[in-house]
């Protein structure tokens, strides 16, 4: 999908962009110092290689395009996903906590400009409903 307004793909992680964390899918024991990040804004820093302990991202390990593509292939082939380093979007919340894209629902801030904040929490719920209907 191409975003003409910003002249880059919606899946282009080469430049940081502002996001809204719609839902924090981590377990409470995996939260950072600021707890559940649902509803917070932040910056998607790009795709990085996920370390074994996702609480401590290594900002020197930005994923290459090849690593990003290999991650997608590995996730599609569940037998292979344990064998490669997975690239994933890394978000720095405005409160200072990091969260991986794999651990939350998030959207570009610009895509939500016409959605009232009170409805943000309904978006992940609706996505799950649509997926359930599609997968059944």
Q: Which residues contact 51 (CB under 8 A, 6 or more apart)?
A: 57, 58, 61
The strand pair at 87-93 and 98-100 is best described as antiparallel
- Asked whether residue 34 carries a pLDDT value surpassing 70, the answer given is yes
Is the model more confident about 108 or about 134? 108
First to last CA, the chain: 26
What phi-psi label fits residue 96: left (phi over 0), alpha (psi between -120 and 50 degrees) or beta?
Answer: left
Q: What H or E segment, with its residue span, contains residue 79?
A: none
- Asked whether residue 7 carries a pLDDT value surpassing 80, the answer given is no
Q: Is 38 exposed, middle or buried (0-12, 13-18, 19+ CB in 10 A)?
A: middle
The pLDDT of residue 8:
39
Mean pLDDT rounded to a whole number for the chain: 80
- Asked whether residue 37 carries a pLDDT value surpassing 50, the answer given is yes
**pLDDT-based confidence at residue 3 (cuts at 50, 70, 90):** very low
What residues form DSSP beta bridges with 107? Answer: 20
Is the model more confident about 135 or about 118? 118
pLDDT tens sequence across 62-88: 888 888 888 777 777 766 555 567 889
**pLDDT-based confidence at residue 121 (cuts at 50, 70, 90):** low
The pLDDT of residue 134:
57
CB 40 within 8 A of CB 21: yes
């Amino acid at each position: 999908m191409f975003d003409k307004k910003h002249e880059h793909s919606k899946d282009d992680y080469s430049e940081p962009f502002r996001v809204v964390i719609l839902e924090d899918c981590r377990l409470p024991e995996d939260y950072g110092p600021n707890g559940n990040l649902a509803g917070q804004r932040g910056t998607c820093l790009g795709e990085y290689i996920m370390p074994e302990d996702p609480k401590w991202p290594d900002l020197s390990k930005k994923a290459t395009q090849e690593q990003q593509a290999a991650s997608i292939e590995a996730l599609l082939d569940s037998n292979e996903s344990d064998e490669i380093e997975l690239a994933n979007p890394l978000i720095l919340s405005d409160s200072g906590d990091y969260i991986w894209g794999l651990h939350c629902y998030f959207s570009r801030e610009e895509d939500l400009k016409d959605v009232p904040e009170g409805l943000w929490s309904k978006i992940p719920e609706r996505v799950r409903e649509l997926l359930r209907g599609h997968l059944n």
